[in-house]
Chain A
Amino acid sequence: MILESGQRSYNSAKAKLWRWANQSEQRLYLGGVGLALFVMALALVLGLLSGPTDRQGVVIAQFVAGSLVFAFSVYGDMQTAKGQMTPQTWQRGAIICAGLVIVTGLFTGEFFNIMLAPLLVGIAHRRENQRLLIGLGLGAVVLIALEVIVFAILGQNSNHVSSAATSLTAVAAITLSLATFMRRYQSEVEEYQDEAATKASEMEVAHEIQTSLMPPPMFTSGNWTLAARSLPARDVGGDFYEYVQHPHLDNTISGIAIGDVAGKGIPAALQMAVVRTLFRIEARRRIFPGETLMSVNVALQAERSFGMVTMLYAFIDINSNTLHLANAGHNYPLLLNGTLLEEVKMPGLPLGIDDGIDYEEKVIKITPGTSVIFYTDGVVEAMDNEDNLFSFERLKEAVQANQNLGPVDMVDKILAEIANFTKSAPQSDDITVLVLQYHPQPAEADETPKQGEPVGVAADFGDSRKGSLGLETGDDGVNWI
């Protein structure tokens, strides 16, 4: 077939023949048709006035031929609008044949050449076959050559007026073809714009749905307050955060999780929904975060074509004021107390990469006034217009510069610092920041740590480094950095 792409658009344009998408399309098409009629009329008048009497029959025949071209064009347009024909068949056929008429008309200007246009275009219409059209065109060239030879032998010369009229007829055909083409092009653009608007509307709804599924941006649970914001790079994203409700106490959070599905947009959003569901199920069944992540990882292995997911899960022990952390390749959380800032280093394979992975747990005693900052890689990898990264260092500086703020303000300030750094550069990845603060009642408060003391007391909990492969770093004598 000459053209298959765009067929869907044309099929959807059924019954739109005389319904114009806008005024510019209407002017374009009707203007082209009008111009074609004018040129054809001009050709007729010139031929009748300039030619000798015995040539007027030829001129009328040329006009008939031009009318046929015109009729084919309009007919083709109608069939296209009904979804019964690809318009490119007509457009290409008409343009090629009209060009052929111009070329041959310069040499001969006889009947035969004029009739080539509607003849070939008509055949091309019916067969919708580009190879056939080219073959017919080549065959016509051979016939014209034979014609020239025959007329030369018979001693007849071409008529100049007839050639001019032939050329004008061809111009009319070209004009009409271009008008048809432009109309269809304009119509396609309009349809694509309509589709884009529909998709944008759907994405807006998807964004609202995803946003509504996120936990509230602020939550207070006893002595713990947390705030979170997630900014997808597109309408929907693969970043997420989750609060785990205490199984027995109302309005009490027993854990928080933050995660990032590799990729952006709809695929990441769909995968994120799956991961969140799996996590919720596993987090209700188990207490320890390492076991929970392991179970989610096993469940993800059963999913086909699932990409990488980083996730950090912090179980909050409200009795001992401790965090039990497990990390599946997510960015290390930051512990802040006063001016002291500490990074909780917990390497771990992301979910969905390999099965049978054990996840290390760390238990951290949270002292009063401590903030724990969780974030996704879109924070540190936010880029400015010169492709400079916001970086881990700038994040730490932003956290320290806003150490006295509550969770909501701290989240806002960090995001503002990122926006100030990236300026007008487009957001390349989803960005999520979550801040958890512990502020006990005065009677419960312990002493805050002094300079030089660790912010939290961290201890390994469970098997730390061995995965399913039992591999150890640096087992081959190389000095690693």
Chain B
Amino acid sequence: MALKIEQGNDVTIIHIQNDSVDAVSAREIAGASDQMKGNTILDFGSVMFINSAGISALLKLVIEARKQGKKLYAVNVTAHHRKVFEMVDMLRYMPIAKMEDLLPLIKA
């Protein structure tokens, strides 16, 4: 999976550039966890498919990050995946936001 990572003062933006997230690609995202700052934005703009193994790995990642005091946000999530995230309670740990709402966070 191609991850494009942008770093700010206290924010990391991870652009997921694959069209699908499965267990393997979710582990690659987890591999970038050491680069996650206090605020991390996961950009799902290119993602068309997320299978259950990908959801499982993502959940474990975001819960672990929140336990470490980090805040994660998801942007550019499709309506279908927004509903899936809601059902598995991922939104409690990684809310979905609009990128423009996060601009103050990025510019800080």
Binding site for B on A (CB under 8 A): 260, 262-263, 307-308, 310, 327, 329-332, 345, 347-350, 352-354, 377, 380, 387, 389, 391-392, 429, 465, 467, 469, 471-474, 476, 478-481
Q: Mark interface residues in B51-84 (1 if CB within 8 Å of A CB, else 0).
A: 1110110011001001100010100000010111
A348 pairs with B89, CB closer than 8 A: yes
Do residues B92 and A473 form an inter-chain contact, with CB atoms below 8 A?
A: yes
What is the interface of chain B, defined by CB distance below 8 A to chain A? 48-49, 51-53, 55-56, 59-60, 63, 66-67, 71, 73, 80, 82-84, 86-89, 91-93, 95-98, 101-102, 105
User: Are B91 and A473 in contact, CB atoms less than 8 angstroms apart?
Assistant: yes
Complex: how many Å from CA A82 to CA B103?
72
Given A262-B55, A307-B53, A308-B55, does the pair A347, B66 have CB atoms closer than 8 Å?
no
A332 touches B93 (CB 8 A): no
Q: How far is the CA of A478 from the CA of B59 in the complex (A)?
A: 21
A389 vs B87: C-alpha distance in the bound complex, in angstroms?
Answer: 18
Chain A residues in 8 Å Cβ range of B66:
469, 471
Bound together, the chains give a CA A174 to CA B99 distance in angstroms of 67
| Cα A347 to Cα B28 with chains together (Å) | 27
B52 A260 Cβ-Cβ under 8 A: yes
Give A392's nearest chain B residue, CB to CB. B83
By a CB distance below 8 angstroms, the chain B residues around A327 are 87
- B88/A480 in contact, CB under 8 A: no
Q: With A307-B56, A353-B56, A478-B101 as known contacts, state yes or no: A347 contacts B86, CB within 8 Å.
A: yes
Are the C-beta atoms of B63 and A353 separated by less than 8 Å?
yes
Q: Could you say which of B87, B92, B101 contacts A330, with CB atoms under 8 Å apart?
A: B87
CA–CA, A329 to B60, complex, Å? Answer: 14
Which residues of A have CB within 8 Å of B91? Answer: 347, 473, 480
Q: In the complex the two chains form, is B48's CB within 8 Å of A387's CB? A: yes
Contact A331 B87, CB 8 Å, known A308-B55, A391-B80: yes
Chain A to chain B: the 9 pairs with minimum beta-carbon distance, closest first: A308-B56, A262-B52, A329-B88, A347-B89, A480-B95, A349-B89, A262-B56, A262-B53, A353-B59
A329 touches B89 (CB 8 A): yes
Q: Shortest Cβ distance from A320 into chain B, in angstroms?
A: 27
Known: A391-B80, A474-B95, A480-B96. A350 touches B53 (CB 8 A): no
A471 → chain B closest CB, angstroms: 6
Given contacts A353-B56, A391-B80, A480-B95, 19 further A-B pairs with CB under 8 A are A260-B52, A262-B56, A263-B52, A310-B87, A310-B88, A332-B87, A347-B89, A348-B87, A353-B59, A353-B60, A353-B63, A387-B48, A387-B49, A389-B80, A469-B66, A469-B67, A473-B95, A479-B98, A479-B101
